[in-house]
Each structure stands twice: as structure tokens, then as C-alpha cells.
Structure 1
Amino acid sequence: MKLLQGYVWHPRELDIDLADYLPRRLDPDVHVLWDAMPAAPFTFFDDGTLAATQRVYQFTVMRFVPPDDDPAALLPWLAETLQTALERSPEGVGWQVMADLRELG
């Protein structure tokens, strides 16, 4: 099940490896994925920055959820954990991450 979905970005001229700041896996069996996109799915950011000046990553957090588990119960912990990790990233890194409780099929 997908838990969180969104984007992470930084200026193209910055050589940033997100793996230095974001975990690939969190307990219990939560997978944190990001993939560089060839182009952002939008032209401008909310602050007016041109998306073409940024390296944009699709960001997804997922977990295989047993039938009796409530995936929404993980969201507060996930939000706090990932917020802390993202806040330690270098100046210029931005993100927009939202809850997205959809089953993957």
C-alpha cells in the first residue's frame, strides 16, 4: 500500500545525493523510494521558481500492509521521521509530501 506520495527537489547545479539524508527503509517494513524525473510535471513552483531549474524526484513511501492493520496509524510517525530527515538536507532542497493511502495493484 502506498502511504505517502510527493516530490523532492533541489537546484540542478547542486550535487546532492538524497541517500545521504533520506533512509531507504524504515521499520516496520516501510520502503522509502525516490526516482529522478526527466522533467517536473509542472512549470513553476508555488514561489515562482521555474521547475526547469530544479532536479525533481518522485517520492513514494510504501508498506505491505497485513489485512488487519490500519495503515493510517503509521502516518504521524512517518511524517515526523521524514520531516526530521528532510530538514537536515542542504539549503535549497524542497519537498511536498502528502498522505496517499492507496493500494498498489
Structure 2
Amino acid sequence: MKKTQITINIELDENHIPEKMHWNAEDGGISNQETKAVMVSVWDEKDKEALRIDLWTKEMPMDDMKRFYHQIFISMANSYQRATNEDQVADYIVEFAENFAQQAGIKSKK
């Protein structure tokens, strides 16, 4: 059985706020790539709930954070559709994402 690893290295300031983050995913060809935000979710089978780690650096621009969330919503719709084949629900998530983008001021109304 093959094993692989994804790592996130975080430099914190004196108040434990992330200042710099780098991630590695050897199988994906990523080595010490800098990032300004990270969201990781895992499923807790025992308690039937999602556990999350959400981190961003002090330097993450607000508009980039809004775009980050929008793209995560779109990505969630795609993953949901692949996992369940429920196109209607996936389309609803995309619709939500587009409404979010308009409300957040990162996309204009069509």
C-alpha cells in the first residue's frame, strides 16, 4: 500500500497569529509553496460531524478572502455532485455561490 503526505508549515507571531504558511504535497508536485489561507475539513465518523481548521495570515487581502470562499463554494458543489450524482442540489450550491459573490461585491449581477 502506498502512503503519501500533505503538510502545512505555519509561522506564528508572538500572539500565535499566522504570519507565513507553506504547504507541501509531494505527489502533486507542490514543494514549500507559500499560501495566505488554508481550510482543511475532516469527517469524524464517531460523532458524525465535520472538523475544520481555518487559518489565514495577517497579509490575506479581504477581496482575496471573499474570492477564496466563493471558489470553495463552487468546489463544494462540484465535489457534492461527484459524490452523490444529485445535480439539482449541486446546482443549488452553485446558485448560492453566485449570490454570495454578488453580495460580497466580487461579481456583478448578470
TM-score between both structures, scaled by the size of structure 2 = 0.26
By relative contact order (CA 8 Å, sep 6+), the higher-ranking structure is 1
Q: Larger Rg: 1 or 2?
A: 2
